[in-house]
Amino acid sequence: MMEGGSVTLNCSTDANPAASYTWYKEHEDSPRASGQMFTITDFRAEHSGNYSCEAQNQMGRSTSTLLQITSSVIQSQDGWGVTYDQTEVCAVKGSEVEISCTYKHPSGIGNQDIKDRFWFTKEKDGEPVDLKTDFEYSGRVEFGCFSKRCFLTITNLTESDSAEYKFTFRTNKGEKYTGSSGVTLSVTGLQVQVSRSNSTWLELTCHSSCDPTDHPGYDWFKNDEYFKTGSSLPVSSGSTDRYSCDLRGSFSHRSPAVYGPQRPSVSVSPSAEMMEGGSVTLTCSADANPAASYTWYKEHEDSPRASGQMFTITDFRAEHSGNYSCEAQNEMGRSTSTLLQISSPGGDTTTMIMNITRWTLLVVMLILLLVFSLWMRKKKAVSSTTEPHEPREAVEMDLHPEYENLSAQREDPEEQEDQMQWNQRETHLDGDRNKWTYFPSVPPVII
């Protein structure tokens, strides 16, 4: 567009119910207009940029691709002038960009009168500094002119290249002219966006706020090693790997890697042993990209105690004593810290008493078990020593009375006495008075 002119943008989409339309300019949050048509009258340089429209109805919304509108900016004075093809350029870190313009001078000056033409971003002592002599651009800039059209190419862009670039030319007669309003270059880095496809898969997308349409594609890296080429990358949820992207063929300006939280570390202030009524603050931190969110848990409890990187317990009581942990989570996965014990003096005393009670009961039970074992062993030993000898063979005989008398007459009186004592000791009457059972100490004699 030429400055001062008018331009109308028209947005249309297929929708039922019919859609309403809203117009936006890139990098602006507030809408520029509403309605299917958007007209810019008295077009100026500040109107240049990328525009999009959003269509919305009760069923949903959709946004168009960006449409670039630029102005041919002319600064002129008595036949002098510079026209820039674009006043704003956005490029991705690591890529290259070309800026171009045309210039004019009074008809009395020929091409042979032009002494030098160059681009610059800085001035020294009021004079522009040729970009080719700036060490920050050494080996990365190239420019030339064909008739009155000139261009500037910058390769391997860095974020520090973001600046306003101007064109100037001078004649052999000392005359010079500089385009006062130059071209604003914005250089942005790549970022990996993470979105969830389903419960088990994530989709990684290489993204830049410039979103160049002529880039050669993206290379993906897994743990700093080339993985594959593509506009997006599916990965499993909970993956512990690191993923980054770069413009295809450019290996020096890779995006920051995205990865799940590493094991969080927990610190406590002022200390892990608290006096009742005091205050304690737990802090959780984990290396993660995107940044992690934090949730606090107490051991043996299912419900979380708090959320956020810091967890403060005020008016600390004995019931607050216990083991705490934090869980760090981002779009890539989650990780849980080790347990941190926090106790109060009262809590320690109770724990100590319980432990002493347990150990005392255990020792008493062991002593009782030992005493019972010794008693059983002693009882068994006593029983084995008092057990009678193997029983002698019992001789059972029926004696007729006349044999009894005869036997008694023939025995020696001393032997009879011994025999009587022995009988009293080792004989017993078994029912029938004439039937004796006895255990002889010597083989029996039958008469």
Q: Can you say whether residue 238 is alpha, beta or left, with left for phi > 0 and alpha for psi between -120 and 50 degrees?
A: left
| pTM of the shown model | 0.52
CA distance 311 to 289: 22
Average pLDDT, the chain: 80
CA distance 180 to 102: 14
CA distance 438 to 394: 6
Residue 165 contacts residue 182 (beta carbons within 8 Å): yes
Residue at 294: amino acid letter:
Y
pLDDT at site 73: 44
Structure-token pair, residue 75: 């600064």
- Cβ contacts of 129 within 8 Å, gap of 6 or more: 120, 121, 122, 123
Q: Which residues share a beta bridge with 269?
A: 281
pLDDT at site 351: 54
pLDDT surpasses 80 at 111: no
User: Which DSSP letter does residue 345 get?
Assistant: H
> What values do phi and psi take at 123, rounded to 5?
-125, 150
Residue 243 contacts residue 192 (beta carbons within 8 Å): yes
pLDDT in tens, 222-262: 999 999 988 889 998 888 899 999 887 665 678 899 999 99
Q: Give the range with max mean pLDDT: 43-52, 169-178, 185-194.
A: 185-194
Residue at 263: amino acid letter:
R
Separation of first and last alpha carbons in the chain: 159
Mean pLDDT for 199-208 is 88
Proportion of the chain above pLDDT 70, given as a percent: 77
pLDDT in tens, 380-396: 887 766 555 544 444 44
pLDDT at site 178: 84
Residue at 225: amino acid letter:
E
pLDDT at site 339: 92
pLDDT in tens, 305-341: 999 999 999 888 888 889 999 999 999 999 999 999 8
pLDDT at site 383: 73
Mean pLDDT for 400-422 is 48
**CA of 351: how far to CAs of 13, 266, 274, 358, in Å?**
71, 24, 15, 11
